Amino acid sequence: MKTKINNKKKAIHIFIRKSVRSYHHSIERFTKNLILNVYDKNLEIKIKRCPVSSEGIIKRIYLIIWAFLNQGDVNHITGDVSFISLLLSKKKTINTFLDCRLLTEFSGIKKTLYYFFWFFFQKKKYKFNFFISEFSKKEILDFGKINLNNHIVIPIPLDKSILTLRKNNKNFLTLLIIGTQKNKNIKNMITALAGIKCNLIIVGELDVKIKKILKLNNVNYRNYIDITDAEINKLYQISDILLMVSKYEGFGMPIIEAQKAGLLVITSNIRPLKNLASNYGALLVEPDNNFKINLLLKKIISNKISIFPYIRYGKYNSNKYRNYYISAQYKSLYMEI
């Protein structure tokens, strides 16, 4: 009697939030890269993008039911929609925790509900819990004394489309800022540009207050909203410095991308940014000290700081985040499940 062989591919469903216009999110590029790089003839990987945004009770209940009806052989939840796991099978569900930034911004009942549904109730819902940095892992585990089983740190992989060829601008310094959310500290960064002759590129939506600060400081800027990966790659090529002096980040992928592209990186002297940039891979500043940011830029313009060692070491540092190495870790865990 012949034994019937099951050649059906195992379905890997990667759940991701509904895209938010005007923001350039690393997690969206991360999920795209997983599909491209976690290839195996026995796996069929699909992105399951939430059909509605995570807003309000009704939409979130709908998303929980939708996720239940769209389960695969492995369910991988990414982004900030961990609550959709409530009805999923634990033995085949994994989650990538990004950060708990909103717990520091919310207050009252909103903070309590967010804590319980995004973190507390999730602590036993997953076979594996992934964190994008040691900083995120410690912060989430320490907050409320959450105890998660099988927690693993796997960073966000570097998008291989980022090029190392860059066009030098000889006339003006071109600064690049990616992200305009509250934690990105864009107000302080723009204020620090007072008296600096430069071109500024900002990726992300600008509110009226930020536009007024730009005008007040006489900053020559271009603004891009909802751009593609190819377009962000072009911006890296025409920029000289990535200015990412955030007050909070769970990871900070633009740092690695800028290092790969050959830009000088100026970032905050806080975790995880200073760890991500590595020693001598970036110039570090205090995010609240506009004067020192301004002084650092003036020293760069006047050639009082040798920036090439930072650029050279930054390229070396970016190699640790190659897509192949990181995707291989996810593939191994998918196969294990």
Give the predicted TM-score (pTM) of the model: 0.84
What amino acid occupies position 262? G
Same fold, 10-157+322-336 and 173-321: yes
> pLDDT of 322-335, one tens digit each?
877 777 888 888 88
In this prediction, residue 299 carries a pLDDT of 92
φ, ψ dihedrals at 181, nearest 5°? -65, 170
Name the residue ranges covered by the structural domains of the chain: 10-157+322-336, 173-321
> pLDDT of 130-180, one tens digit each?
888 888 888 887 776 666 667 888 888 777 666 655 555 555 689 999 999
Name the β-bridge partners of 44.
11
> pLDDT of 71-104, one tens digit each?
999 999 987 888 999 899 888 998 888 888 887 7
Furthest-apart CA atoms within the chain: distance in Å: 84
Query: Is pLDDT larger for residue 250 or for residue 103?
Result: 250
Pick among 2.60.40.1510, 3.40.50.620, 3.50.30.30, 3.40.50.2000: CATH of 173-321: 3.40.50.2000
Q: Dihedral sign, CA of 238, 241, 242, 246? A: negative
φ, ψ dihedrals at 160, nearest 5°? -70, -10
Instruction: With beta carbons less than 8 A apart as the criterion, state whether 266 and 283 touch.
Output: yes
Domain 10-157+322-336: top CATH class: alpha beta
Query: Is pLDDT larger for residue 64 or for residue 26?
Result: 64
Q: State the CB neighbour count (10 A cutoff) for residue 200.
A: 23
Q: Does residue 31 carry a pLDDT above 50?
A: yes
Say how far apart CA 70 and CA 79 lie, in whole Å.
Answer: 17
Structure tokens at 134: 């040691």
> pLDDT of 309-320, one tens digit each?
999 999 999 988
In this prediction, residue 30 carries a pLDDT of 74
Instruction: With beta carbons less than 8 A apart as the criterion, state whether 147 and 316 touch.
Output: no
In this prediction, residue 294 carries a pLDDT of 94
> pLDDT of 190-200, one tens digit each?
999 988 989 99
